[in-house]
Amino acid sequence: MTMTSEEFVRRIQMMIYRSSIDGNISYLEDPPGRRPDPIVIKLSQWFKKLSSEDKEYLRAIIQMAVGDAVFGMLVILDGDRTIREAGEPLGKLELRYNVENQSILLNDPKGDPLHDIFRDLAPFP
């Protein structure tokens, strides 16, 4: 399969966005490790006392936070938000997928912005 901007964003949506949401909920349900951090234990105890409705609200908050972080990163990769500090010259980010003898520009300014593709795949709640 050839990597496209859409395929890249789809994989980000699955492997980062969804897994981060599910992972955070799982972390609260059952903290991993032999000796989890005390704050994680307290958060887990608090989470387990929530009603089903409140757990869904918390899931929606996590979904918004993760979605906003992924969206913001894609906006930066698209060049619509800069990461330069004051006084630095404006640079250009290029996200390329290199395979065999191909180099595919995934954040091509002539194509759909990555953050728009993401928004279509993972709308905020």
Q: What digits encode the pLDDT tens for the residues 41-87?
A: 999 999 999 999 999 999 999 999 999 999 999 999 999 998 888 88
**Averaged pLDDT score across all residues of the chain:** 93
- Please provide residue 28's backbone torsions phi and psi, each rounded to the nearest 5 degrees: -75, -35
Domain hosting residue 71, numbered range: 5-121
What's residue 56's pLDDT? 96
Range 36-43 average pLDDT: 94
Cβ proximity of 18 and 9 under 8 Å: no
Counting the structural domains of the chain, the total is: 1
What's residue 1's pLDDT? 63
